[in-house]
Structure 1
């Protein structure tokens, strides 16, 4: 390991409000270099201390780059402005890092709720395209209710009919206005 010519770990950070994103390396990047997207206020010492204390990964050197973004037109005032730049830092690691291969089965990361949401979005997009072809958009009442909306309506009716919904918590008397 390289000799230490600098102080290590004297900066204390409590409840950090920054995000450090580890970026996948480019094809021609050596395995002992790691690239991170960091906040604009980050400096090389901050990243070095972060990697050392959070992950116990020593670094040999760090390079930082600011990448300017293209000018854009604001949606509200239609003025041209330049978004803030993106700061990336490339750290030379003491040991090479190898990315894992992408998993074959992605079902673990696609819960049924997200699948239902995706299908509902596809259905709405399909409906919107057919409405654009016809040239008229029906009102919400003319579309008909979705299955989830009907189920929610039935559950609300059941709660109103049966009444006395409880969540096993005592209500503070100052909030109870049943006089």
Structure 2
């Protein structure tokens, strides 16, 4: 009997510029010949198999799919006026586990993170998380209002001169009013 890799036809569906995101998950409990991915809900096993083959030249022997439903929440997150007894279920997550023909081993964690500027990444992540809060949005609104107030006071006091921001198209031309169409 021929090996299973010769029975499976690889590369039928070519993918050039994908419009989707596939995430490889770090799963130390799986053997090295298995990899777990987060994929879009409309993705199927053949799409993932052909994607891995064309992009990374990885042949997948077996693919298992699991759709994980999210917990039901009361009202949508981030709503300004939450309403009681309005239920919302976040979008489901689709995971695929792939059995590959060659093992994949995650590289060791580097001890020195200077080359990856980990401090800058952590600071940026912290800033982004802070900007997503309603308090930060309110602070940004207050800062903008203060800047506009200072600018208006400077204009009224004569410290700065007002400049138009639109494009000057030349002199105005009067148009005839009695035109019949």
Question: What TM-score, normalized to structure 2?
Answer: 0.59
| Residues 110-129 of structure 1 aligned to structure 2 (within 5 Å) | 110=117
Q: Where does structure 2 lack aligned partners over 5 or more consecutive residues? A: 129-134, 136-141, 144-159, 161-166, 172-181
Output aligned runs, 1:44-123, within 5 Å. Answer: 44-73=45-74, 74-75=76-77, 76=79, 77-78=82-83, 79-110=86-117
TM-score by length of 1: 0.60
SS of structure 2 residue aligned to 1:17: coil
Q: In terms of mean alpha carbon deviation, does 105-114 or 31-40 score higher? A: 105-114
Deviations 1:66-113 (A, max 9, x none): 111111231424322111110000000111111011111112222786
What are the Cα deviations for residues 121-176 of structure 1, in whole angstroms up to 9, with x where unaligned?
A: 9xxxxxx9xxxxxxxxxxx78xxxxxxxxxxxxxxxxxx9xxxxxxxxxxxxxx56
User: In structure 2, what is the equivalent of residue 35 of structure 1?
Assistant: 36
Distance in 1 (CA, whole Å) between partners of 2:106 and 2:87 is 39
Structure 1 portions without partners, runs of 5+: 122-127, 129-139, 142-159, 161-174
**Matched pairs, number:** 133
Of stretches 103-112 and 35-44 in structure 1, the one that deviates more from structure 2 is: 103-112
